[in-house]
Amino acid sequence: MGVLPILYIAAYLANQDEIALFEEGRYEAAANGLGLSVEVTSGAAVDTVTLLAMALIREGHPQRALEVLRRYPYENQQHCEQEVDALIDVGLERYAEAYDRARECLQIYPNSLILLEIRAYLLISAGRLELAERDIARMERLGASEVVLQGLRDMLGGLRQPHPTGP
């Protein structure tokens, strides 16, 4: 067995308590333990870094999540998804950056339903409905959840409704 698989197994075993806290919705406690683990290992385990970012986002600290993800950069699908999610959660002023990063990540991971959903949402928010429809159609072909697809379609439909011009 090589060194990397051993590190991943060790990271999983070392963070079992934090994983349980995360699954219980105790994000602050999970983030505290995961943050210590990431610091001690200098971010050697991508799964630990990604889970820490997820906990920080759910705890309401997307800027801190973004800082962690950028301090320990990895090119994998979950890392990309969390980085884009953190950018959106930071606020509207980061939407253009989130869109650019989603587009970059989709070039590497074209079948990521999460990245396609995020990009469709960003496109709808920007009023680029035709492009959003293409992402939604792709998501459908890839087998996305009907609940997710319907939510995006509802957003599209709401923007296409004629607005009353007044009394």
Residue 118 falls inside a structural domain: yes
Please tell me the total count of domains within the chain.
2
The pLDDT value recorded for residue 12 is 61
Query: Where among 27, 46, 74 does a domain terminate?
Result: 74
pTM of the model as a whole: 0.74
pLDDT means per 10 residues, the chain with 167 residues, are 48 75 89 90 83 92 93 87 91 90 95 96 94 97 96 86 46
pLDDT at 166: 38
Domain, as residue range, for 7:
1-74
Q: Give the H/E segment covering residue 90.
A: helix 77-90
Domain membership flag for residue 139: yes
Which residue, 160, 124, 126, is CA-closest to 139?
124
Query: Which two tokens mark 110?
Result: 């074209």
**Are the C-beta atoms of residues 18 and 30 closer than 8 Å to each other?**
yes
Domain boundary among 29, 46, 74: 74
In this structure, the number of other CB atoms found within 10 A of the CB of residue 55 comes to 26
Quick one: 8 and 49 in the same domain?
A: yes
Determine contact, residues 149/136, Cβ cutoff 8 Å: yes
State residue 78's pLDDT score: 87
